[in-house]
Structure formats: structure tokens, C-alpha cells
Structure 1
Amino acid sequence: MTIELTLDGAQVLRPSGWDAGPLAISGGQIVDNSVGRRVDLSGYLVLPGIVDAHGDGFERHMAPRRGALREASHGVVACAAELAANGITTGVLAQFFSWEGGMRGPDFAEHVFASVIDVAPSLPVDLRLQLRLETHLLDDYARAEAAIKRFGITYVVFNDHLPHDRLSEGRMPPRLTGQALKGGRNPEDHFRMLLDLEARTAEVPEATTTLAERLAASGVRLGSHDDHDAGVRQVWRSRGALVSEFPETLSAAAEAHGAGEPVVLGAPNLVRGASHKGNVSALELVQAGCIDALASDYHYPSPARAAWRLVELGVCDAATAWSLVSAGPARVLGLTDRGQLESGQRADIVVMDPETHRVVATLAAGQVAYLSGNVAARFLA
């Protein structure tokens, strides 16, 4: 059930900056005139809900231990609660569809998709699905395409995680044993499978191009993950995959940005001050003006923390920084109804403590998704 409220007394982050005026909510949207009961939020900050364009931190909710695949619907509920507790009102769950097996294999992916589709309509947070397709999983392209259609998935990203340097030389990649066991395979069988996949590399360009054409024609948004350089970004552009997720270098990000293509980087990269894989720093790309969105990646608290980190470092003001986790990712996803606190937009709202920057309340489309601490008394009075 949505509510009618007017939030008074807070500092409200509008597109132009901070504003002390009231913010009214009705019918799940922001409206111009005060309505309903007034809630005094003096001493708090009110910001647009976070739009998370790519997150895979939900894996531990769906399968907290290897092989624990039953009743994932409860994991979906738990995941949505964590999203809301971190101010995320729209969350894209980025699920692998990969040769890696286990929690990244097609069986687990379809299990996750079915669970999310079953539970999401009952939750206030807007949960969306992304299928991350490994390019060399050629024999399962038809299965992936069927899943995209069956579950109404509108966002597909292409990945290539094969260790080509080692495999092209017939050498065993590092950490293969652990990877094989995670996928439920014998290490020797896993190595043979990788060699077989590597041997089919010449088939991949035509197969990905053909699949991408069909998906784009059906309205699916396409992207590529881990673009290594400008040349790789150009290749994916030619195939219609126009979102550049987590580019590894400045040249790849600049190539995408120069062509007007969205660039998504991981918020944990910015919070940590560097990529955990040694790729280009997200801070460097923000300073270069090459980022459209900061996503949670593997850590849901990071988008909000990254935005405030940019303010603390003096890189940009709060409105600009917060747009990288709200309006920016909304545009990446083609969502024109959210990301800013303006009349007619979804009432996706985050209330924060100004000193700790801790989320104390989250409303998603006008519904209470999270409420904690002393601020709860103001909403419930």
C-alpha cells in the first residue's frame, strides 16, 4: 500500500542542489502540493533512491553454502531487504550464465530467475534481472535466449572470463582446482573443458554478433563487461552492445564516453581507492568525466559510500556525486521515471543521518522499504 505524506524540515537533494522545501508523496509519486500527514524530518537529509545498475552480491542470499539451492525465494526477500537498508530502490541482479558452473552455471541462473520473477512483485524494491552470458558458452546460446524470453529479461551483458593466454599454450590456469570444485567438477575434467572452449574461439565473433542482433531486435539492452581497451569497445559497439560495464582501462572508458555510450564502474573500486583486480581507478575515470554510473558490484553499501567519498575528496558537489548512483544509472537502464526528486517521478527516497551518512529510511515507489532507529518514531507518530 502506498502512502500520502509530506516530508518537512529536511535538506532535500534536488537536481540543482540542496533545498529546504517540503517533499510530497502521493500515489507512489512525487507531487507538487503538500498532501496527507506531515512528517518532520528536521536534522535529516533526503535524497533520491539509489538505482543499482549491476550487482551480484545476492549470490550469498540465494545459496549461502555450496549446493544450498532450495527455497531461493526467501533469499530474494532477504536481498531486497539489504538493498533497501543501503538506500537502493532499484536493483539489477546480475546473474552469470557461464561455463564456470555452480552458482554461475545455467541451472543456477534459471533457478534465480524463476525465484526473482515469483517474489519481486510483492516487494517494494524494484528488482530487475541481467543475464551475464559467457561468450564461449556456445552450445548454450539457445538456452540463454530461451531464458531471456521466458523470464522477460531486458538487459544482457557479454563476458569472456577464459584465461586465453594460458589455454592457448595448453597450460593449466592458476586457481583452476578451486574453480573446478566450485563448479562441482573434477579439476582434470574442468581443464579439458576449458581447452575445448578455447579451441572454439574462432566461432565466437559470428555467434555473438548473430545472437546480439536477435536480442537487440527484440528490445533487449546489450552491454559488454571488462572492455580491455578502445579496440575491444569498438568491437562490441559493432555488435550492438552499447553499455560498457567495468572497462579495465582509461582508453576503453574514453572510447565509450566519446561515442555517447554509457559507462558503468564499480562503487567498491572508488571506495577502496583502486580496483581489486588492478584495473583503472574509478576515481580517475570520474575525474576524467568518463563515468555515467557507479554500481554496487559485489557490495551493496558501496554506492552510497562512493558518492559521499567523492564529496569528501572535493571531486564534485553532492548533487553531481549522487547523480552517479541515481539519475545516471537510471538513464543507463532507460528508466525515465526515477533518479531525481521531481514532480511526477517515482517516490524513491532515501533518508540519511547527515553526520554518519547512514541510511535510516527508504521509500520505494511510496512504500516503506526500510525504517530504522529514531526516525521511525517520526514516520509512525
Structure 2
Amino acid sequence: MADTVLSNARIVLADEVIEGTLHLRDGRIAEIATGGTAVPGAEDMEGDYLLPGLIDLHTDHFEKHVIPRPRVRWNMLAAVMAHDAQMAAGGITTTFDCVCVGVSIKHPERREFYRPMIDAVRDAVAKDVLRVDHIVHLRCEVTDESVVDLFDAVADHAAVGMMSLMDHAPGHRQYPDITHFRARTMKNMSLSEAEADAHIERLLGTQEYLVPKNRMELAERGKARGLAIASHDDETPQHIADAAALGITVTEFPTTLAAARAARDNGMKIIMGAPNLMRGGSHSGNVSAAELAAEGLLDNLASDYVPASLLQAAFRLTEAEHGIALPQAVATVSANPADTAGLGDRGRIAPGLKADLLRVSAIEGQPFLKTVWRDAKRVM
């Protein structure tokens, strides 16, 4: 592969922004030089920023292409290609595609299509039709009686690289209000009030005998495979303590400041949603990402359900109300997620690392994404 030289750029490094030139070779960053360059054929960045490609640890966006409307199913390969295009357009060069293992209050048919979703990722990679690197994030619903068996059926799939443990029973975590949960259950599952109450009673009954067993077995299986493991929607310090006791090192979308503080005390990495930051708060009324940022408790941002939000959120963190320097803000969507997921070959602009890069200019504070490179190959 011929060398690529990107000159006259503002290069966002781990601790500073420099004006300089990048040399790319064999899909890697070969050299960083300050100032201009006299190399013939260098591409002029015209003073734009060069950022590391973004790493998204949690996106539900793939499933939205598989199920674009209730009871509508899309071709799996077409769905992953469409999803991939939107991730690239958001500056995301490594995406952890969430696939639900087990069900809680919606889409009981997930048991039927969770394996085809994973296979579609591998199929698309084999056909070389994807712009970005896709890794599967298994979202394991611990209230499901079959979740361990469902996990075992796919855990050794080559595409799998992360897992999270979810408990969507009412009365805690994401659904502390049982009345609200009942109404949502009736709507999503087309149940009568009596049927919804029976469903709620079953879920509540799992908390003593099933959930602890499933959490322990899944955590042990994940650790044995070297997967990054997150605990989802932690609400209390006890939730964090329970996760830490299982060797879990990541809390994903903690719902309270107390849980986030406990996570930091236990040395756990914290993931929050970029849409939460962009909207100024959680759509569910949980703790805001901005509040955690102010407390120094925001390690990672994930796009969750809006791919474009990741790049936007990094620049939002640099605004006066947050006051975070650009290198540290960019780290929440690149270097920190790489560390959280154990990806040592990407997430920073440094010699020897993957040349996953973004060319970005700022228009009235808003990032304007111009070019995306993955392994030094232009993909957008």
C-alpha cells in the first residue's frame, strides 16, 4: 500500500492538539511530524482537525434496521449494510453492535433472529461490504430462563467481543415505577392488564432464584472467553458491589449519581449515552451524563440509539458549560472505549496504531465530518 500523507492538520493527540502532518503506511500511522511537509502528493487538510476514529461500545441501531416497524423484518445483509453506512457517516470506525440475548418486555421474537443478526455481521465482513469494524455486543437479559443456553449458542462466534448483563424487571434499575412498567408492557406486548400483572409477577419472582444464578453463570462464561463485561442500568451502590464481586469492570448507563460514584470507588469504567448529553438529560429521568462529567465520572460515551451523537457529544463537552479540553473530550469516544474493550491497537493517533481517522471542521461549534479513513483507506 502506498504511503498517504495528510498535511496542514490540527492533529488531536492524547494530551494536546498540534499543527502537523501524518504519514500513513500499510494501514497504520507511521509518523507524526509537526509543521508542514514538502512531500509531493501530500493531501492538504486546510487546517481541519484530524481525530482518531470513534469507538462505539453500545449501539442498538442494527436492530432498528432489522425491525424498522413492528412486525416488519428486513433482509439481514441489507440491514447490516445500511446500519454500517450510518455508523461510518457518524465518524464511527469501530462499532459494538448490540444483539439481545433473551427478552424482557418487547420483541419476544428476538430468540428467532439474534443468531441470524450475528451471522449477518460475519457474512458482510466475508463479502467485504462494510466500511467500519463491527464487533458484536451480547446484551443478556438475566430474567430470561433460557438466557444462559442462548448465550452458549453464540458466545464463541468470531464476531462476539463484549457482553452486558441486563435486568429489566420492574421496581428497580431502568423501571423503578411499576405502574409505568405495566402500561409499557401492555402496549409493547399487546397484553391485557391481568396478563401484564402476571408477567410482572413472573419477573419479580426471578429476582431471588433466577437472576443471581444467571448473572454468576454469565459472568463466569464471559471472563473465561476474555470478553469485556458490563453491568447495565445499575441504580444503587449495592448493584455496583454485586457486579464488582462477579469481576465485572464496567457499568453501562448507571441510573443514579450514587451508583456512578460507587463504580468509581470500585475501579469500574463508566459508560453513558451521548444522546443523554446532547439532550441535556436522560429520556427516562435518570442521572444526566452532564452531571457525571461535572463530577469526573464520565469515562465513555456510546451512541446508544443516535449514531451521529457520538461526534457531536465530544465537541459538546468542550463548550463552556462543561469546559473539557478537546483531547480529553475526544478520548471519551475513542481512547477510553478502546481501553474499556481491551482494544490496544486503536483509539489514539500514535505511531504503530491503526490509521482509523476523521477529518473534521467546526462550524459554529458543530463538528462537520468531511472524511473517514479506516486502516488508512478512505471509507467516507
TM-score (norm 2): 0.89
Alignment partner of 1:201 out of 180, 198, 207? 207
Q: Structure 1 regions of 5+ residues with no counterpart?
A: 371-381
Tell me which residue corresponds to 2:115: 110
CA contact (8 A) 1:167 1:198 kept: no
Listed one character per residue, the Cα deviations across residues 76-129 of structure 1 (whole Å, up to 9, x for unaligned) are 111111111111111111122223352772222222111112113522301111
Tell me which residue corresponds to 2:133: 126
Instruction: Please tell me whether residue 22 in structure 1 is matched to residue 21 in structure 2.
Output: yes
Q: Structure 2 regions of 5+ residues with no counterpart?
A: none
- Residue type matched to 1:128 in 2? I
Tell me which residue corresponds to 1:83: 87
Task: Please state how far the C-alpha of 1:8 moved relative to its aligned partner.
Answer: 0.7
Q: d(CA) in 1 for partners of 2:372 and 2:176?
A: 48
Instruction: Please tell me whether residue 177 in structure 1 is matched to residue 186 in structure 2.
Output: yes
Distance change (3 Å), C-alpha of 1:310 and 1:215: closer
Distance change (3 Å), C-alpha of 1:349 and 1:259: same
Q: d(CA) in 2 for partners of 1:171 and 1:29?
A: 50
SS of residue in 1 equivalent to 2:182: coil
Alignment partner of 1:212 out of 208, 213, 219? 219
- Residue type matched to 2:11 in 1? V
Instruction: Please tell me whether residue 233 in structure 1 is matched to residue 240 in structure 2.
Output: yes
Task: Please state how far the C-alpha of 1:250 moved relative to its aligned partner.
Answer: 1.3
Tell me which residue corresponds to 2:198: 192
TM-score (norm 1): 0.89
Q: How does 1:44-63 map to 2 (within 5 A)?
A: 44-63=48-67
Q: How does 1:199-278 map to 2 (within 5 A)?
A: 199-203=205-209, 204-278=211-285
Q: d(CA) in 1 for partners of 2:327 and 2:176?
A: 47
Instruction: Please tell me whether residue 280 in structure 1 is matched to residue 287 in structure 2.
Output: yes
Instruction: Please tell me whether residue 326 in structure 1 is matched to residue 331 in structure 2.
Output: no
Alignment partner of 1:43 out of 23, 40, 47? 47
Distance change (3 Å), C-alpha of 1:168 and 1:198: farther
SS of residue in 1 equivalent to 2:367: coil
Distance change (3 Å), C-alpha of 1:318 and 1:259: same
Task: Please state how far the C-alpha of 1:307 moved relative to its aligned partner.
Answer: 1.1
Q: How does 1:144-183 map to 2 (within 5 A)?
A: 144-164=151-171, 173-181=182-190
Listed one character per residue, the Cα deviations across residues 322-376 of structure 1 (whole Å, up to 9, x for unaligned) are 1111101111111111111111010010011232411111011112121xxxxxx
CA contact (8 A) 2:249 2:267 kept: no
Q: Which moved more, 1:118-127 or 1:193-202?
A: 193-202
Listed one character per residue, the Cα deviations across residues 119-177 of structure 1 (whole Å, up to 9, x for unaligned) are 13522301111111111102332122222124552311011112147999999812222
Tell me which residue corresponds to 1:349: 357
Distance change (3 Å), C-alpha of 1:306 and 1:47: same
> Percent of aligned pairs with the same residue?
30
- Residue type matched to 1:51 in 2? I
Distance change (3 Å), C-alpha of 1:169 and 1:17: closer
- Residue type matched to 1:272 in 2? R
